[in-house]
Amino acid sequence: MIKKYALKENRTAGAILVNMLLAAISLFANGFGVYLTIQANIGAGPWDVLNLGVSHTFGILYGTASVAISYAILGIDIAFKEPIGIAMFIDAFVVGKAVDLFNKLDVVHKCDSLKTGIPVMFLGLVIMAYTHYTYMSASLGCGPRDTLLVALAKRAKKIPIGIVSITLLSLATFIGWLLGGPVGIGTLICAFATGPIMQLAFATVRFNATSVHHQHLATSFRVFMKKKIA
C-alpha cells in the first residue's frame, strides 16, 4: 500500500485522497505516541513543553494550543517560501486534537514513578517513529516544525543543522518552561533519543526519508483541477 501510493501515484486525485487518508491515520496514531510521552509524567518533549505551557497559561486544551502553535509555524514556513504540502495542514490539526481525544477517554493514567514513566516514554517515541514513516510515505509534505528547522538551517548557512535543531528545541523548551510546561528527565530523553529511535525504526522498514519527494500544494491542486503535471 505505502509503496503503491508513492509520489509517482500522486498524479491522480484518487491517489492523493488515499495518501491524505494514510497521512491522517498515521498522524492520529502519532498523536497516541505523543499522548504516551506526556502521560509518562517525567517531563514532556521540547515542543510539548511549549504546548502544555501555553495550555496551562491560557487555560485551553493541549490540542488547541498545539494547533495554534502548529499553524503559526506553518505560517512562518510559508513566509520563508518553503515547500508546503497538503499533509502539513493535516499534521497541524490532527496530532493535537488526537491527544485531546485520548485525554478525554483517559486511555492511559499518568505514571507515578520513573520505573513506569521511562518505558511508557520510550513506547511513545517508538510509536511516533513508525508513524512518521507511514506519514512521510504519503509524499504530501513534512511536518511544520521539520520544515521550519530546514528553513532555519538554510539561512544559518555555516551553522550545522544539529546546532540549529538544538537551539530551536532549547528555545521551545525554555519558553514552555516559563509558561509552566513540565520539564524533566523525559524532556532530555525526547531531545536526545527521538532521532536515534527514528533512525532505527526507518532502518527496520528500509525507509530512506531523504529519497521521498514531497508533492507541493500547488501541484496537488493542479491534479485536482485535472491539469497536467511534469
Band (1; pLDDT cuts 50, 70, 90): very low
> Per-residue pLDDT for 185 more than 70?
yes
- Tell me whether residue 230 is in a domain: no
> Does 92 reside within a domain?
yes
In a domain, 158, yes or no: yes
pLDDT for residue 7 is more than 70? no
Cell 509503496: give the residue: 3
Mean pLDDT of 101-115: 96
Tell whether the model's pLDDT for residue 142 goes beyond 70. Answer: yes
pLDDT digits (tens, 9 = 90+) for 51-73: 999 999 999 999 999 999 999 99
Which residue segment(s) compose the domain that 140 sits in?
Answer: 7-224
CA R_g for the chain: 18
Query: How many domains are there within the chain?
Result: 1
- Give yes or no for residue 8 having a pLDDT over 60: no
**pLDDT on residue 4:** 46
Averaged pLDDT of the chain:
92
208 band by pLDDT with thresholds 50, 70 and 90: confident
2 within domain boundaries: no
Residue 96 in domain: yes
Does 172 have pLDDT greater than 80?
yes
The pTM of the full predicted model, rounded to 2 decimals, is 0.91
Q: How many CB atoms lie within 10 A of CB 129?
A: 22
Domain assignment present for residue 1? The answer is no
With respect to residue 23, please indicate whether it lies within any of the assigned structural domains. Answer: yes
For residue 229, is it within any domain? no
Instruction: Say whether pLDDT at 230 is over 80.
Output: no
Check: CB of residue 217 under 8 Å from CB of residue 86: yes
| Residue corresponding to grid cell 512521510 | 136
Closest to 48 in 3D by CA, of 64, 57, 37, 59: 37
The span from the CA of 144 to the CA of 88, in Å, is 6
| C-beta of residue 136 within 8 angstroms of C-beta of residue 201 | no
DSSP state of 6: S
Share of the chain above pLDDT 90, in %: 78
pLDDT-derived band at 6 (thresholds 50, 70, 90) equals very low
Average pLDDT (84-89) is 94
* Phi-psi region at 226: left, alpha or beta (left = phi > 0; alpha = psi -120 to 50): left
